[in-house]
Chain A
C-alpha cells in the first residue's frame, strides 16, 4: 500500500475487518452451538454415526444404481433378475458407506470485509457452527480460507472437543487478496485427496465468475454446498452524484454519475446476480443457501439443515 493509498483510504487498510474476533464466539454463541447440535440430532435421529453415504458405489447395503458389466467385475453383484427379463448383464451398485470429511472453505478475500466486515463475521460464525455440528456428528472437519488461493488451512480433525481449535483458526483469519475461487479450488482439491462435503462460504464476488470454483469442486467429486453470504446494504449503496468508484479488491476505478435511475438499475443487476447464482446451483443440484448478514446465524444454520445436503 502506497502513501497515496493510505491518504485516499484505499487498499487493505480500508478493509475494515475486525482486528480481533474475541467476541465472535462468545458464550452465547457456544450455547447456541450446543442447541444446534441437539436439534440436528433430533432432526436426523436414527442415523448411524459416520454413516455418510457417498455416491461412490461400493459394498454398501443400499441399492444405488446399475451399470453395464465389465470383464473382471465381481459376479456376485450381477443382477440376474434383470438378465432374466431383458437378457442384459447389469451390475448392481450399492452406496459405499464411509466417514467422509467436511471441508469448510471460508472466503477471506477483501470483499468479505467490505463495510463493517459483517459478511466475514457471518461467514466465520456459520463455519464455526456448522463445524461444531459436524464435529458433534463425529465427522472429519477441515477448514480452509481462500482468496485467489488457499491462504490458510486447518487440517482434518474429529471430535467435539476440537471446536476451540476451529475457533482459534477462524479468529485468526484476516481478510486479504482478491477473490479467485477457480484457482483457489484447484489448489484445494489438489491438497485434499479425500473427497467429501465442501461447504463454500463466500460472497461469490469473483471477477472471473463464481461458477469456476463450484465447478472445480464438482468435477473433482466433492459435494459442494454453497452458503452465499450477502449483505442487503450492498444492493442499495448510499451514493449520489459524480463519484469515482473503486473496487475494494482489485482497485479498479470507474467514473460514475449516480442518479436514481442508475441506483435502480444497480438494484436490478444485483438481484439478477443473486438469481444467476441460485439458478446455477439449482440446475446443478448444488445445495445453495443465501445467508444475509441481517439474519441471526442460528436461524441460518437451521435453514441450512432444512435445505438438506449438509447432514444425511
Chain B
C-alpha cells in the first residue's frame, strides 16, 4: 500500500491536531439546563433502567467519541489517497475499438446501435480501476484513435462522444493490428471490441493479426436483423449514344421476413420510376432500367418499406450515382483521305472533327496541337510529337512514338489485353490483316494487341500525353467492316479524353478514392454530403481521399500560381485543360453498397486467431477501485450512523 496523496507524517499531524480538538470538545461537559422537580425519586425510577446499564451508557459515550475519531481517521486517510502498490503496477491497459461502420446506425435498439455502444463504453469507463488506462478508437474503414491512453474518465468520455457514424464497412484487421501494436510491450493489455456484426477474419496484407497474450473481449451490440438495402447501383451512358443511359440496381432483403418496399428512381431529384416490390427473406432482386434519356446528371435510388415491414438500417436505403458529363471532344484527323476513319468518327455526335492533310497539319496545326483533345495520324507520322493525345494508324519514321520494325505478313490479334478500355466491347480475334509492321514498345508502354510475330497495337504515354499506335493500315484489313472498328476508335478517343476514367457512377465508401482532378495543386477542397468542407491532398493529378459517407461530393480545384508560371507544366493526362487552367469542380457520388454491412444480424461471438473473444469483465459501474472513495463512503456512512444514534438518543 502506498500513499498517493498526503504523506503519513502530514496525515498524522492533521489527525493529531483535529483529533485533539475533537477530544477536547468531547471532554467539555455539556451544560445542561437546570430544572427543579418536586420529587426526584420518581425520576429515579425512570433512571433505574438506565442505571442498570450505566456502564454501557458510559461506553456509549465512549463509542460516540470513538466514532468521531474513526470518522476523522477515515477522512484523513482519504486525503492520503492510499493505493495498493500491486494495483498501481497491474492496472489494465485497455484499447476499446468501437465499431462505427454503417450497420451501427441500425435503429433496432434505441437510439441506435452506435448510441448504445457509446453508452456501454461509458459504463466501462466509469467502471475502470484506479490504475487502469484506456484508449478509445473508432473502427470504420480506417482506425482513428480519439485520444491518448488515459485514466482520466472525463477525457475518455469526451473521446467517446467524438465517435461519429460512417457509411463504410469496418476494417477489423487494421483496427486489431493497431490495437495490438498499441499494447505491444505493455502489461495487462486488453482489447475490447464493441461491435454488432461479423467482422470477418482479421487478416490484412501483412497476414493474420495475432493478439498474442493480450486479452480480447467482445461486447456485442444490437438484436434485430430486419433490413432491406440497395446493394448495387450503377449507371452508364451508351458508348455510341451518350444522350441515353441505363441504370442497374439491386435491392436485397437481408432480413428473415418478407419485405414489401417501394423503390423510387430519381433523376436530378425528380421521380423517374416508382416500383412496388415484394422481397422474400434473403432475396436479391436486380432491376434494370434501359434506354433512359434526359438531361439528368444525378441519379438516386430510394427504397421505402411498406406496411409492417421493418427496416432497421436506413443508411443503405439510399444510393447515389452521377452520369458522366457529356463534353464535345476536339479531334484533328490528319490523313490523305480515309473514308472508314471519317465515317467511324461521324458516329459520335459529341466529337468535333477537323480534317487536315499532312501538309495542312505542318503549316497550320502543328503549332496549335494543344488545342485538340485528340489527333489521329492516318499513315502520317509527324517529325515532332504533338502536344496532344494521338492515335497513330500505321506509323512510320522517326516521329513514331514506338519503334516500327519489320513488316509482318498476315498478323492477327493473337493476344489481346482485354481489360484495356480501348478494346472494351470489341471482338478483334477474327480480324484479318493483310500486312503490317511489328511495333517495339518502350518500357511503360502497354501492348494491347499482338500477333505471334510481334505487337501490333500499343498504348502508352509520351511527354505526358497518351498515344495509341496501330501497326497496320486499316484499309489492308477487314477491321473497318466490323463493328469493332468504330468501337475501338471511339474507345480510344474516350480513353484519351479520360471520359472513361472519369466515368464513375459512384465510389464505394470505405475505399481510398483517387479522383482525377486535372490539376497539379497540392490540395483541393472537398465538399462532403453534409455540406462540410475538407481539404484533400492531390497527388499526380488525383485527389486522394478516404470517403466514408454516402452521397454527392464536390471537389473544387484551383491551379496554383506556381504551377501557372511553370513553363514545364504538364496538364494531367486526359484532364480537362480548361478545368486545369481556371480551376473547376468535379462532382461524384459515393455509396455503401455492401452486402456484409447491410446484413445487420448481430454477431454473438468474435473469433480471432482461432479463439473466441471473452465477455467484458472487471468493469463495475460506480466501483472505481480507488480506496479513497471507499474511505469517503465509509466516513459518510459513519456520519449517518452517528447522526442517527444521536438523534435517536442512543449514544447520548
Residues of A within 8 A of B (CB): 8-10, 14, 111, 114-115, 203, 205, 207, 234, 237, 239, 241-250, 252, 254-257, 259, 262, 265-266, 269-270, 273
Contacts and interface: CB of A to CB of B under 8 A. Distances in A.
Contacts of B34: 8-10, 243-246
Please give me the 6 A-B residue pairs with the lowest Cβ-Cβ distance, nearest first: A247-B40, A114-B38, A205-B39, A244-B32, A111-B38, A248-B36
A203 B43 contact: no
Contacts of A248: 36-38
Interface in B556-595: none
Contacts of A243: 32-35
A259 to B, nearest CB: 6
Nearest to B35: A243
A254 B45 CA distance: 12
Interface of B: 30, 32-47, 649, 652
Contacts of B30: 242
B507 to A, nearest CB: 82
A246 B38 CA distance: 9
A237 B33 CA distance: 14
Contacts of B649: 257, 259
Given A14-B36, A248-B37, A248-B38, A242 B47 contact: no
A256 B33 contact: no
B45 to A, nearest CB: 5
Contacts of B44: 254
A147 B485 CA distance: 147
Nearest to B46: A265
Contacts of B45: 269
B219 to A, nearest CB: 56
19 contacts: A9-B34, A111-B39, A205-B38, A207-B39, A241-B33, A242-B32, A242-B33, A244-B32, A244-B33, A244-B35, A246-B34, A246-B35, A246-B40, A247-B36, A248-B37, A254-B40, A259-B649, A265-B46, A269-B46
B40 A10 contact: no
Interface-centre pick from B34, B37, B44, B652 (highest chain A CB count, 10 A): B37
Contacts of B47: 254, 256
Given A245-B43, A256-B47, A237 B32 contact: no
Given A242-B32, A254-B47, A270 B42 contact: yes
Contacts of A246: 34-37, 40
B40 A266 contact: no
A9 B33 CA distance: 12
A186 to B, nearest CB: 21
A237 B42 contact: no
Contacts of A259: 649
Chain A residues touching B, majority SS: mixed
Contacts of A14: 36
Nearest to B648: A259
A252 B40 contact: yes
A203 B42 CA distance: 13
A207 B652 CA distance: 28
A275 to B, nearest CB: 13
A247 B46 CA distance: 15
A111 B42 CA distance: 13
A248 B41 CA distance: 12
Contacts of B32: 242-244, 255
A266 B47 CA distance: 10
Nearest to B42: A269
Contacts of A239: 35
A250 B42 CA distance: 13
Given A9-B34, A234-B38, A244-B35, 16 more contacts: A239-B35, A242-B32, A242-B33, A242-B652, A243-B34, A243-B35, A244-B32, A244-B33, A245-B37, A246-B36, A246-B40, A247-B38, A247-B40, A250-B40, A254-B47, A262-B46
Contact of B43 (A205, A242, A266): A266
Contacts of B39: 111, 203, 205, 207, 234, 247, 249
B250 to A, nearest CB: 83
Nearest to B37: A245
Contacts of A203: 38-39
A245 B40 contact: yes
B43 A256 contact: yes
A258 to B, nearest CB: 9
A207 B44 CA distance: 11
A66 to B, nearest CB: 45
A250 B40 CA distance: 9
A106 B36 CA distance: 23
Contacts of B46: 256, 262, 265-266, 269
Contacts of B41: 207
Interface-centre pick from A114, A245, A266 (highest chain B CB count, 10 A): A245
A242 to B, nearest CB: 5
Given A256-B47, A257-B649, A257-B652, A266 B33 contact: no
A6 to B, nearest CB: 13
Contacts of B40: 245-247, 250, 252, 254
Nearest to A113: B38
Contacts of A270: 42
Nearest to A255: B32
A209 B37 CA distance: 17
Nearest to B40: A247
A49 to B, nearest CB: 40
Nearest to A261: B649
Contacts of A111: 38-39
A121 to B, nearest CB: 15
Contacts of A273: 42
Nearest to B49: A265
Contacts of A8: 34
A273 to B, nearest CB: 6
A10 B36 contact: yes
B146 to A, nearest CB: 60
B338 to A, nearest CB: 122
Nearest to A247: B40
A246 B37 CA distance: 6
A79 B32 CA distance: 73
A173 B216 CA distance: 100
